[in-house]
Amino acid sequence: MGRVIVVTSGKGGVGKTTSTANLGTALALLDNSVVAVDADVGLRNLDIVMGLESRVVYTSMDVIEKQCELKKALVKDRRVDGLMVLPASQKNNKDDIQPEQMKAICDKLRTMNDFVLVDSPAGIERGFRNASAGADEAIVVTTPDVSAIRDADRIIGLLQNAEIEPINLIINRFSPQLVGNGSMMDQADVLDILNIDLIGVVPEDSGVITSTNRGIPLVYEEGSPSAQAYMRIARRLTGQRIPIPNLENKGLFSNLVNWFTKKR
Amino acid sequence: MSNSTVVLRAYRDGLHLIIRPHLSITEVEAAIQQEISRMNRSLTGASVQIDLKSPTLKKEEIESLSFKLQETYDLTVRNVEIADEPVAPPIAAAPTTHVISPTTDIRNHQNSEPSRIVPHTIRSGQTEECPQGSLIIYGDVNSGGEVRAGGDIVVLGTLRGKALAGMNGRVSAVIIAMDFEPLHLQIGDYVKNSPVSQEPRGCLKIARIGAEDAITVEKFVKS
Ligand SMILES: Nc1ncnc2c1ncn2[C@@H]1O[C@H](COP(=O)(O)OP(=O)(O)OP(=O)(O)O)[C@@H](O)[C@H]1O
Ligand SMILES: [Mg+2]
């Protein structure tokens, strides 16, 4: 039975879709079968980030309305085996889907796959409730700024109320330079507030935008630090214990120190 | 806080000994002794200004007090300031002219009230309340979160959100937290926005209505 993981944030634009696409690809590259579900009904873009826009024929809406079989709506990735996307309808809106319908889809998908990653829309309303309805676990994405962190905190409270567990944190768009000169919160500050397990830190990287525009997930760029960060997060998701490198202090020694942080 | 009838404070112009109204000279002397023994640094050779909140002490009493401060604690009195308006006795006081008298210390004003324990962090968007008693949080109160209590609030973590103690107007209520980074503190009708505490992180701090009739945040001292 596969795991259903919702990727969510509260605040918009912090990197949920980027994270879903890259983790989905990375997990598939590690020989897992993965379905990435776009739950951002009306504003779908997971298919674009993954370069699959032209292959979309059916959407989750068609499945719910019984216009097609779930299997037929899944779009196969063109680069790696075992990765599929369930696109969201672009012409509907979030209220057209009920949480139970999303849960039913996730439950069906988990019987056939190792991982079901659900790309949640921003916000705490229906779209979020739909996306988290079928999830056992969550990944909360935040950028290291106070407004994103406060929204992440809000979302974590809602996920805990829904008894979704574990809840892991990705800090995205992290900039060692900005932390160094005191204009960005450091990892410890973020963890002190959110008080959940950190599963990875993805650096600020202009390569993310170019990869989005080309429709090729970043993880294929082996030399890129953010690609490596996503690969490590995928490994941690599969249970491997890999230290989180300390981006704040690029010494050889300190890189070895910051082991997979357990904080509770 | 052992006793709030007499408070020793450091201001820009030096130490001030603030004496609340309606005290006899014996009460004042006892309170001074407690307040000075509470200080963990030596005051030897320092000078103080005595701020009398009302002229209830006689001139001779003030003189003998100054003499005793010099003799007993090696404290020189550089000035005595007396508030000229007499203050109404505490019994008749409206909520705004409360007095924290020796009998209302934080231990005994809530004897039989229930307190409520919240065994986790209060996150953004969450509110916890205990209108009839005190609230104890085993965690933080994050920005966007809110706690309210009729009595005291104790946060065994960082207070970043909003805290309202003494919500039914009880001005003797206090807010205690490991660290204060709150957006908004309220005790009774007294409000303070974004107070910054000078105390180091990680040592308990207490917010209460101090001698200047405003919310102060200081290091927590056992009574
Ligand atoms: N590590 C990064 N470095 C630089 N840019 C990034 C990074 N992560 C994401 N971005 C950029 O931020 C923007 C938003 O990313 P993305 O669409 O993944 O966020 P989202 O949380 O899914 O947004 P929404 O809430 O609208 O769904 C994109 O332009 C993306 O390229
Ligand atoms: Mg998105």
Residue A28 C-alpha from the chain's centroid: 14
Q: Which of B83, B117, B148 is the last residue of a domain?
A: B83
Mean pLDDT of A258-262: 42
d(CA A140, CA A6): 8
CA-nearest residue, atom 15 of ligand 1: A15
Spell out the domain ranges in chain A. 3-259
Show which of B51, B83, B115 is a domain's final residue: B83
Domain range for residue B49? Answer: 6-83
If one residue of A18, A130, A139 were mutated to test the ligand 1 pocket, choosing by the most ligand atoms within 8 A of its CB, it would be: A18
Ranking A103-112, B38-47, B126-135 by mean pLDDT, the lowest is B38-47
CB B48 within 8 A of CB B17: yes
pLDDT in tens, A12-69: 999 999 999 999 999 999 999 999 999 999 998 999 999 999 999 999 999 999 999 9
d(CA A165, CA A153): 15
A193 interface with B at CB cutoff 8 Å: yes
Q: Which ligand is nearest to the CA of A8?
A: 1
Task: State whether ipTM is beyond 0.90.
Answer: no
Note whether residue B102 is domain-resident: no
Q: How many CA atoms lie within 13 A of A73 on its CB side?
A: 23
Please state, in angstroms and as integers, the Cα–Cα distance from residue A79 to each residue in A25, A29, A50, A76, A139, following that order. Answer: 9, 10, 10, 9, 25
Atom of ligand 1 nearest to the CA of A174: 1
Determine contact: A57 vs chain B, CB below 8 A.
no
Among the residue ranges B21-25, B71-75, B94-98, the one predicted with the least confidence is B94-98
In sequence order, the 6+-apart residues with CB closer than 8 A to the CB of A161 are none
Residue minimizing CA distance to atom 25 of ligand 1: A12
Residues of B in contact with A124 (CB under 8 A): 125
Task: Please state which CATH number belongs to domain A3-259.
Answer: 3.40.50.300
Q: Answer whether residue B58 shows pLDDT above 70.
A: yes
User: Do B73 and B117 fall into the same domain?
Assistant: no
Any domain includes B144: yes
Contact state of A154 with B125 under an 8 Å Cβ cutoff: yes
Please name the residues in contact with A212: beta carbons below 8 A apart, sequence gap of 6 or more.
A18, A48, A49
Q: What average pLDDT does range B16-35 have in this prediction?
A: 80
The pLDDT value given to residue B85: 55
Among the bound ligands, the one closest to the CA of A11:
1
Is B100 part of a structural domain of the chain? no
Nearest-by-Cβ selection for A150 from B124, B139, B158: B124
Phi, psi at A56, each rounded to 5°: -75, 120
Q: Which atom of ligand 1 is nearest to the CA of A13?
A: 23
Q: Residue B102 above 50 pLDDT? A: no
- Considering Cα of A202, then A206, then A212, then A217, what sign does the dihedral take? negative
Residue B94 lies in a domain: no
Chain B residue at shortest CA distance from A157: B123
CA distance readout (Å), B121 to A10, A121, B131, B197 = 18, 25, 19, 22
Could you tell me the two tokens for A121?
Answer: 């829309």
Q: Does the pLDDT of residue A131 top 70, yes or no?
A: yes
CA distances (Å), origin B151, targets A97, B45, B136, B165, B211: 46, 41, 11, 6, 20
Domain match, B14 and B71 both: yes
Residue B30's domain is classified under what CATH number? 3.30.750.50
**Contact between chains at A154 and B124 (C-beta distance less than 8 A):** yes
DSSP for B76-95, written as a single string: EEEEEEE-SSPPPPGGG--G
User: How far, in Å, from the CA of A18 to the mean position of ligand 1?
Assistant: 6
Task: Assess whether B69 and B138 both reside in one domain.
Answer: no
For residues A219 and A26, the answer to whether their CB atoms sit within 8 Å is: yes
Which of the 8 DSSP states describes residue B138? S
Mean pLDDT of A113-120: 98
Q: What is the pLDDT of residues B154-196, one digit of tens each?
A: 999 999 999 999 998 999 999 999 999 988 999 999 999 887 7
* Contacts with B, A 147-166, CB within 8 Å: 150-151, 153-154, 156-158, 160
- Number of structural domains, chain B? 2
Q: Are A186 and A248 in contact (CB under 8 A)?
A: yes
- Is B118 found in the same domain as B41? no
The pLDDT score that the predictor gives to residue B50 is: 86
Q: How far apart are the first and last CA of chain B?
A: 5
pLDDT, residue B12, reads 61
Return the residue whose CA atom lies nearest to atom 14 of ligand 1.
Answer: A13
Which string of DSSP letters, residue by residue, matches chain A? Answer: --EEEEEE-SSTTSSHHHHHHHHHHHHHHTT--EEEEE--TTS--HHHHTT-GGG----HHHHHTTSS-HHHHPEEPSSSTTEEEEPPPSSS-GGGS-HHHHHHHHHHHHHH-SEEEEEPPSSSSHHHHHHHHT-SEEEEEE-SSHHHHHHHHHHHHHHHHTT---EEEEEEEE-HHHHHTTSS--HHHHHHHH-SEEEEEEE--THHHHHHHHT--GGG-TT-HHHHHHHHHHHHHTT-------TTS--HHHHHH--S----
Residues B129 and B211 in one domain: yes
Residues enclosing ligand 1, CB less than 6 A?
Answer: A 9, 12-18, 40, 121-122, 172-173, 202, 204-205, 208-209, 212, 226
> Hey, of A153, A189, A196, which one would you mutate to test binding to chain B, going by the most B CBs within 10 A of its CB?
A153
Would B214 be classed as within a structural domain? yes
- Is residue B90 assigned to a domain? no
Q: Is-contact B159 A190, C-beta < 8 A?
A: no
Ligand nearest to the CA of A38: 2
**A146, A153, A192: residue with CB nearest B123:** A153
Average pLDDT over residues A205-230: 94
Backbone angles phi and psi of B111, in degrees to 5: -30, -65
Residue B98 lies in a domain: no
Single residue among B49, B83, B117 that ends a domain in this structure? B83
The model's pTM:
0.74
Fill in the amino acid letter for B26: T
Say yes or no: B117 and B201 in one domain: yes
Q: Which of B121, B140, B144 sits opposite A154 (nearest CB)?
A: B144
> Do A195 and B140 lie within an 8 Å CB cutoff?
yes
Asked whether residue B95 carries a pLDDT value surpassing 50, the answer given is no
CATH number of the structural domain spanning residue B175: 2.160.20.70
Compute the average pLDDT of residues B40-58.
75
**In a domain? residue B1:** no
Task: Give the percent of chain B with pLDDT over 70.
Answer: 80
**Reported confidence tier of residue A246, pLDDT bands at 50, 70, 90:** confident
